[in-house]
Amino acid sequence: MKKYIYLFKFKDDEKALFELELKEYFNSSLKDQKTIMTSVDRDVESTIFTRYKLDVEISCDTIKELVDILEERKYSLVDYKIIWAKNEDFEYEYKQQLKDIRSVGQSILGDFNLRTPTCIYGVTYAFNQYHFGKVYTHTNSWMKHINKPYSYSYSLDVRLARTLVNIASKGDRECRIIDPCCGVATVVLEGQYLGYNISGTEINPLIAENGIKNLGYYGYKNSICNMDMFDIKDHYDIAILDIPYGVCEKVEESFQIELLKGCYKIADRLLLVTCFEFEKQINSVNFKVVDVGFVKKSNFKRYIYLCEKY
């Protein structure tokens, strides 16, 4: 079975969110590490926490052993570059990294191309072994979506929005997702970028229009409808609800609970984003919390509840 190593990087205040994504999207967990080896194949760009993905071809105990294997196999590549994929769990001296990748590079047949390679291979050290294989480097593609034409102070952070789609979908391409209070389409945009069947509803016509313009700006199709979520007739696998919490006008808790009940009708599962602890309210509408994470930004904390029906 194919194995992949994912080398992650995250800030301390994103750890709980990262762990939730790791569990739901990679079906994995960590023990104070920032590295996993798994058979789960995910696009390196899909998750904001992945720095490198290494498609493991050879694992061995020493660089000498790796070099011997490559030479014995007459391993050959065209137009290639070899890099060291940094493992955040492990201090590996820079000079040694260079020395090791030079030895590995010299044992590969074919022409290398440091400036414009067509394939990048690499070495990392993880789980007490050296691993060699094709390397995919994260390019921070999510940053392109930061400067969307329309945004509000309450719009979700792009990094969080992309992570929410992964947690909600669990990587299942068939998953039907709805963001019933979609605002300017932050989540819908990330969902479309990631290739999911995702739509949104927004009650405010001006905000809905701006959401549609945001999607159009990046060349995505319109999957937003200016309507009240309580009028949704379709059924979805999961609703991602960034609950209105009253930045501009007061939002009563009773209304928030009505929104949860609305989600119960239209979706099998719910991924809820709130600014307060909300477990009691979630239970009151017969959803149960199966997983929870949070993310902090200065004094602001957002809770992320993954809910299923009782």
Q: Binding residues for ligand SAM, per CB under 6 A?
A: 152, 154-156, 180-184, 186-187, 201-204, 207, 228-230, 242, 244
* Shortest Cβ 228–ligand SAM spacing (Å): 5
* Residue 239, CA distances (Å) to 43, 58, 151, 220 in order: 23, 41, 21, 20
Distances (CA, A) of 70 to 60, 73, 95: 11, 5, 22
CB of 249 to ligand SAM, least distance (A): 10
**Closest distance of CB 243 from ligand SAM, Å:** 7
> Which CB atom, from 139 or from 204, has the smaller least distance to ligand SAM?
204
Residue 199's beta-bridge partner residues? Answer: 178
Specify the residue, 123 or 282, whose C-beta has the smaller distance to ligand SAM: 282
Residue closest to ligand SAM when measured from CB atoms: 183
- CB of 181 vs ligand SAM, minimal distance in Å: 3
Least distance CB 203 / ligand SAM (angstroms): 4
Q: How far is the CB of 176 from ligand SAM (least distance, A)?
A: 18
Q: How far is the CB of 154 from ligand SAM (least distance, A)?
A: 5
Neighbours of 271 (CB within 10 A): 26
Closer of 108 and 198 to ligand SAM (Cβ): 198
- CB burial of 219-232 (b: ≥16 within 10 Å; e: otherwise) equals ebeebbbbeebeeb
Identity of the residue, 77 or 177, whose beta carbon is nearer to ligand SAM in the bound complex: 177
**For residues 24 and 190, which CB has a smaller minimum distance to ligand SAM in the complex?**
190
Q: Which is nearer to ligand SAM, 44 or 266 (CB)?
A: 266
**Nearest residue (CB) to ligand SAM, 117 versus 244:** 244
